[in-house]
Amino acid sequence: MLAIRSALFYLGYSLLTIFFSMTGMIFFSRASLLKREMYLGNWNFTVMWWLRVTCGVRVEIHGEDKLPPGPCVILAKHQSQWETFYLQVMKRPVVTVLKKELLKVPFFGWGLALMEPIGIDRSNPKHALRFIQEEGVRRLQKGQSVIVFPEGTRTPPGQIGNYARSGAELACRAGVPIVPVAHNAGHCWPAKKFLKYPGTIHMIIGAPIDTTNGNSRELTEKVKTWIEGEQQKLEAARATTQP
């Protein structure tokens, strides 16, 4: 049944991706970024709804009231593709730092490009870091928040990746707060796996961290400590509910 439900999800996911990317390019390519975000946000919400219908994946968000009113740098745990959908609609306007190869993926990448993400070339780390800082500051000054996955790639539940300092450095340069985010989406939507598992995804949004006169190394360590501490709590809570 898991395979059948997962196949149904991917069928709907593919059709939704094609529909929203094509209609977005046809009708919204010349619209303002905010209008494109509003329209493509329907894609995100519909995919999450379809995941719940087909695979029984529910969502509980904790701490949404802690989001600051102005732009911020969101540093989030990266376990699956689910958080890339939710974070896009959690706080608007928002832009994501991602590898530019994703923008070349048919339909998915085309729709993603309409959101004007900060696409980086990971084969050239020095150039990528410089581009994140320059473009990120420009976007934050325009009022957009910036999503950064400090580990750089998806890590399975229970594992800890290397936290890069680029997100904290960006927040310091722009003078905006950091918002840390923890979640356990990897249990329901494992990275690079076909099967999707029923359950509840818990996302925890932390209080904004002031970056005034901050040090990017110390701030990154502070973010890592908070996120991984929350991850441990989520894992422990999940262990007590498993049969």
Rounded distance, CA 199 to CA 191, Å?
Answer: 16
Just give the CATH number of 59-241.
3.40.1130.10
- The per-residue pLDDT for 124 is 82
- The per-residue pLDDT for 241 is 75
pLDDT of residue 240 exceeding 90, the answer is no
pTM, two decimals, is 0.92
- The per-residue pLDDT for 122 is 79
- The per-residue pLDDT for 15 is 97
Tokens read off for 126: 């020095």
Residue 125: pLDDT band (50, 70, 90) is confident
Maximum C-alpha span of the chain: 54
pLDDT of residue 223 exceeding 90, the answer is yes
Residue 243: pLDDT band (50, 70, 90) is low
- The per-residue pLDDT for 201 is 97
Question: What HEC string does 127-195 produce?
Answer: HHHHHHHHHHHHHHHCCCEEEECCCCCCCCCCCCCCCCCHHHHHHHHHCCCEEEEEECHHHCCCCCCCC
Cis peptide before 93 (omega within 30 of 0): yes
pLDDT of residue 140 exceeding 90, the answer is yes
Render pLDDT for 89-105 as a digit per residue (tens, 0 to 9).
999 899 999 888 999 99
pLDDT of residue 147 exceeding 90, the answer is yes
Domain ranges in the chain?
Answer: 59-241
Render pLDDT for 41-99 as a digit per residue (tens, 0 to 9).
999 999 999 999 999 999 999 999 999 999 999 999 999 999 999 999 999 899 999 88
- The per-residue pLDDT for 151 is 95
| Residue pair 24/108 in contact by the 8 Å Cβ criterion | no
Tokens read off for 154: 């998806």
Render pLDDT for 163-182 as a digit per residue (tens, 0 to 9).
999 999 999 999 999 999 99
Q: What is the CA radius of gyration of the chain?
A: 18
